[in-house]
Structure 1
């Protein structure tokens, strides 16, 4: 059994009280912008408090228990949104044959479909890929629903996956070890009766309650890291940048620009803040000086831009405070080709690349063929010529890559909400691949390419 356990007798005033106490046990994950997934309905009030305390995103993972044919209050297993079934040892004792299990699973999946339509009518559910994910419920009896939830989330390849509950039967916790990287439980009494017996107030949570919680806008962040100036003296230029490092950063993304003051543009400030909330450091840096911006010559000189970006990467690797962090590169326009050139030149140093409305084709076919770092190309649907250039470049990239087409927008992402959506695609990509190089350690260890998707 993993995680933190408090053995003393414990009762909770209500689910929000349980959420506050659970958030304290999870405080080490604040600053990593976790995705907190609640198991409805009872887990939602608990998870809401946890997500707020950790400055994370809140959503639900939809699973349903399979009831015993002899006693509807007893779970013999659970089913998830995709129809995967998890059975407990009680299924045989309860006399549940497979015909009963399949029929019960079909009934519960119908409930899941109705809840998905009710809970998320106008938005896609959060993508766990590459993120720190914490699955929360108000307690575990058999643990069947939690197992089904963890198994469903694991299919999306999170960077780390945790189960967190206020109270649980000890044997239900042990059954999670093979699915969770860590299990956090505040109270696991030897003589477990029912989850409700550990709450003073355990009134039913309704669908209306869940919709209200999920539709409440998240409160503003408790604070992003303060950026500080960063200067890089290179043989041919002195470059200026802004470095921001959240506590316990698990990676650093260089957001490079091709004009003297471009790092102040809203597109990259939004991207930087989105990355910082995910526990990633950012370096916004201008590869072109103010004087060079006036002549517009260096802005289109791909070899010079690539040389300067490579020199910045080298200097970061010699900084004792930053040298161990996995590095990502992000860039628009011609900087996209410079970033890919550096990734091809320094494959061991660059963990991932993201381009937005970029010109990767300018890197050249030979350079693209040497890129092995996972690469995400983000392109606006209305910029057809640029979309064609990105698709052609994508086919030449040797490493893992994807192309995301953001619908109904131009290359500047000026339409409402589009810039934030594009930034979240970049965040998830960097969190996935930088996290793979710097995966959070387990507290107690236990023994493609070429995809093209349409953003919604």
Structure 2
């Protein structure tokens, strides 16, 4: 029988299981509060942003543990099979739903959560909770994300009741659950420790992992800024630094060569996806002035000097005509822990353990592959 030390251990095991199954850009959605604690290590393994999906159980007023339904941030409710036959009048059900909806509103304000519709397009939505028992909150989350435009939803939980998981599959969700059981007692027995998870802990996990801006948590916002980069020939090279959200220091990658420079759509999309994976980047123009290798070294120096960047976790992503300079720097500069070449010319010999991407045009799948490759090397889970 699968066992977990705690929710964090469960999230790590779940992340290892999910990583080879998810292809393409991902957003991980944790069900507050305990589900966010499981979702955080899952997001790290997938090198994906972490967000909460605001759903909550609805229980009887006198017996909160008797769950009759669940409600999402839109106020839409789903009911247990016995929920509508629980003896409650329609007005009572509506009143209970309103009370829980107000709590969700307070959560949204406290966690500083953006609407998922603004980021979901083109992403796989992975919904994570610590367990599925009734399945109502997860069902509510699936419906909420479907209305927000999610085309593929994966429900990932360490343990769950088989009957409830089958209902979720009938809704169109893919289910990944290492431990499918018959009784709730078997779920509890799978964990050695299940401590309470506070809203403050959830807020800090969200601040480190994604676009949420929790109240009272000091996290550096996702941002771009121009950087002054002047080479040994006194030539200024345009450079843009992009930092991920959350608390650093973070690993960083230098982007250089045709198609990755400031002002190019591919360069911007690469920088955004790297930031989602928790990796800073600096993209720059190499043309003019000192040799390309010297400018790449200068960019590494600039990154190493910044307090937001971990100087021991740096990478190079160089394209086309810059590939040769990238190989030269990567072979002798010990700061370079990962090297990727985009469309290198025929005369360039890629070193061992180097990622080579051919094709010219980079679709979201190729860009996601690049970001995950850097994440595996610079942000190992």
> Normalising by the residue count of structure 1, what TM-score does the alignment of the two structures yield?
0.48
> Aligned residue for 1:187?
179
Give the Cα–Cα distance (whole angstroms) in 2 for the partners of residues 21 and 207 of structure 1.
Answer: 24
Equivalent residue, structure 2, for 1:100: 92
Q: CA 1:104–1:270 in 2, change beyond 3 Å: closer, same or farther?
A: same
Does structure 2 conserve the Cα–Cα contact (< 8 Å) formed by 1:12 and 1:199? yes
Paired with 1:152 and 1:326, the residues of 2 have a C-alpha distance of 34
Change (3 A) 1:188 1:171: same
Aligned to 1:172: 164
Measured at CA, do residues 209 and 104 of structure 1 come closer, stay the same or move farther in structure 2, by a change above 3 Å?
A: same
Q: CA deviation at 1:200?
A: 1.4
Partners of 2:361 and 2:69 in 1: CA distance: 41
How many residue pairs get matched? 241
Partner of residue 267, structure 1:
263
Q: 1:68 to 1:74 in 2, by over 3 A?
A: same
Distance in 1, Cα, partners of 2:150 & 2:122: 4
Equivalent runs, 1:47-196 vs 2, <5 Å? 47-69=39-61, 71-120=63-112, 127-193=119-185, 195-196=187-188
1:414 maps to what in 2? none
Residue 191 of structure 2: which of 183, 187, 199 is its match?
199
Q: Distance in 1 between matches of 2:64 and 2:26?
A: 35
Q: CA deviation at 1:128?
A: 1.8
Distance in 1 between residues matched to 2:60 and 2:182, nearest whole Å: 24
Superposition deviation, residue 160 in structure 1 = 1.3
1:46 maps to which of 35, 38, 41:
38
Residues 38 and 49 of structure 1: CA distance in aligned 2, closer, same or farther (over 3 Å): same
Contact 2:61 / 2:96 at 8 angstroms: preserved in 1? no
Q: Counterparts of 1:43 and 1:175 in 2: how far apart (Å)? A: 20
The alignment's TM-score, normalised by the length of structure 2, stands at 0.56
Q: How does 1:202-221 map to 2 (within 5 A)?
A: 202-216=194-208
CA contact (8 A) 1:139 1:166 kept: yes
Of 64-73 and 34-43, the range deviating more from structure 2: 64-73
Q: Which residue of 2 aligns with 1:20?
A: 12
Question: What is the DSSP-based 3-state SS (H/G/I as helix, E as strand, rest coil) of the residue aligned with 1:86?
Answer: strand
1:174 Cα offset (Å): 1.2
C-alpha separation between the residues in 1 aligned to 2:30 and 2:180?
20
The unaligned stretches of length 5 or more in structure 1 are 1-8, 219-260, 280-289, 291-320, 329-426, 432-456
Q: 1:133 deviation in Å?
A: 0.7
